Amino acid sequence: MSFFNSQHQFYCGVDLHAKTLHVCVVDSQGEKRLHKNCQCQDVDTFLEALQPFATTWSWAASKPSTGSGCST
């Protein structure tokens, strides 16, 4: 397991429910940068919403579309 000794540029939290998820990204100063609700089946829209913050996230890969988009 890797441990980090420095502050990150962004922090992400995901609240996962049976059919929906809520994602929030804040920057290192605590400013909210993304705040969205998505359908769990819509992996593409979820990943697209995170893409601007994914400079070092190796898991942010394309997945097949299966549903409708996120809402603010």
Tens-place pLDDT, residues 3-51 = 767 888 888 899 999 999 999 999 989 999 999 999 988 888 888 898 8
The pLDDT of residue 1: 59
Query: What does the alpha-carbon distance between residue 5 and residue 40 come to, in Å, rounded to a whole number?
Result: 33
Q: Are 32 and 24 in contact (CB under 8 A)?
A: yes
The pLDDT of residue 34: 94
Residue 28 located in a structural domain: yes
Of 65 and 57, the structure prediction assigns the larger pLDDT to: 57
Residue 65 located in a structural domain: no
Residue 16 located in a structural domain: yes
Residue 25 located in a structural domain: yes
Domain hosting residue 29, numbered range: 10-53
Residue 4 located in a structural domain: no
Whether pLDDT at 69 is above 80: no
The pLDDT of residue 61: 46
Element (H, E) at 47: helix 43-50
Provide the domain count of the chain: 1
Residue 60 located in a structural domain: no
In Å, how far are 7, 46, 47, 48, 62 from 72, measured between CA atoms? Answer: 27, 12, 15, 14, 22
